[in-house]
Structure 1
Amino acid sequence: MPTTPATTPATTPAELFRDGVKRLLANDVAGWVDLFAEDGVAEFPFAPEGYPRRIEGRAAIGEYLRGLGAHVEYRAVPDMKIHETAAPETIVVEFRATGRVVATDGPFDMSYVAVVTANDGRFTHYRDYWNPLAIPDSLTEAVSA
């Protein structure tokens, strides 16, 4: 008897990243976190004082991002360039996310460069070079309130 095929997981790091962007635009932060391997790592080399620079494990990444949707509503990723590398499991992504800061209804507009490694349909290493100097004042005020 034929069976219904399961949903096909993203097969390349680029497809996985695009799937993750769709989840973030749908305010599905938990869905974004689910794309990480159980032992996945997220790094933020330019994180300001008081923010972690390295987070290990899907559970810890989920805890770190738990309140993201309450602070930022992503509405669009108008610019995204995905660069393949010599290592097929690693991509470099240049992208810009826009939206609003929830607490103040102010604009959110941030550019990122991320080095992303994925294996078996999950992020294993996500290094995000976001610019902490570009955090909107309205977001800083909302988070510290």
Structure 2
Amino acid sequence: MTERDHGVAGPREIVERLRRGLLGEAGAVEFTEDAVYETPFALPGMARRFTGRAAIQRHLADRAAEGMRAALDIREAVATIYDTTDPEVVAFEFDLSGVRSENAAALAGTPFRFTSSIGVLRARDGQIAHWRDFPNFLGGAEAAGALPRLAALLGGQTMP
């Protein structure tokens, strides 16, 4: 029997919830109490590992409010999901498209499209137990019109 046979969301269903969340649709994604969220290729100065439901939710909420994300009006999110030999684990990627918001200044209203991230997710009892996220920081900065800001960050400079 599969998780679906027991009425519990499996990893594919959880990725679909994540995809809908990128579009601003309701449908919370739950993390196990002891969940781990990792971004092995995080930008310098950023934490690479978060442990526990509260810490992960706080980090993801903070990240969603960042300037680059605020500059994007995501209108389409496509998830490509790859099954693994472990039924609790999937690999996936998100392709995003839309228009730049007024927060993107001179680029407001212009279209963008990029692969935002790839990830590996383990589900347990319908919740995320472990998520290794590999965000496309360069693609996101380009989409948001924020390449100079990213370059300054990487160069150790401060930008207004």
Q: TM-score, normalised by structure 1?
A: 0.74
Structure 2 counterpart of 1:59, which letter?
Answer: A
Structure 2 counterpart of 1:134, which letter?
Answer: G
Where in structure 1 are there 5+ consecutive unaligned residues?
1-7
Who is 1:89 aligned against?
A: 88
Which is further off, 119-128 or 107-116?
107-116
CA shift, 1:135, in A, is: 2.9
Who is 1:31 aligned against?
A: 28
- In 2, the alpha carbon distance for the partners of 1:20 and 1:66 equals 13
| Contact kept? 2:19, 2:94, Cα under 8 Å | no
Which is further off, 9-18 or 42-51?
9-18
- In 2, the alpha carbon distance for the partners of 1:127 and 1:26 equals 22
Which of 114, 121, 139 is matched with 1:116 structurally? 121
- In 1, the alpha carbon distance for the partners of 2:112 and 2:131 equals 22
Specify whether residues 13 and 116 from structure 1 end up closer, same or farther in structure 2 by C-alpha distance, changes over 3 A only: same
| Contact kept? 1:113, 1:128, Cα under 8 Å | yes
1:125 aligned to 2:125? no
- In 1, the alpha carbon distance for the partners of 2:11 and 2:48 equals 22
Who is 2:153 aligned against?
A: none
Rg (Cα) greater in structure:
2
Which is further off, 35-44 or 19-28?
19-28
Question: 4+ runs of 1 displaced by more than 6 Å?
Answer: none
State the identity %: 31
CA shift, 1:86, in A, is: 0.7
Which of 9, 12, 31 is matched with 1:14 structurally? 12
Who is 1:4 aligned against?
A: none
Give the secondary-structure state (helix, strand or coil) at the position aligned to 2:14.
helix
| Contact kept? 1:101, 1:108, Cα under 8 Å | no
Give the secondary-structure state (helix, strand or coil) at the position aligned to 1:46.
coil
- In 2, the alpha carbon distance for the partners of 1:10 and 1:21 equals 18
User: How many pairs were matched up?
Assistant: 134
Which of 45, 59, 64 is matched with 2:40 structurally? 45
Specify whether residues 94 and 86 from structure 1 end up closer, same or farther in structure 2 by C-alpha distance, changes over 3 A only: same
Which is further off, 93-102 or 56-65?
93-102
Q: TM-score, normalised by structure 2?
A: 0.68
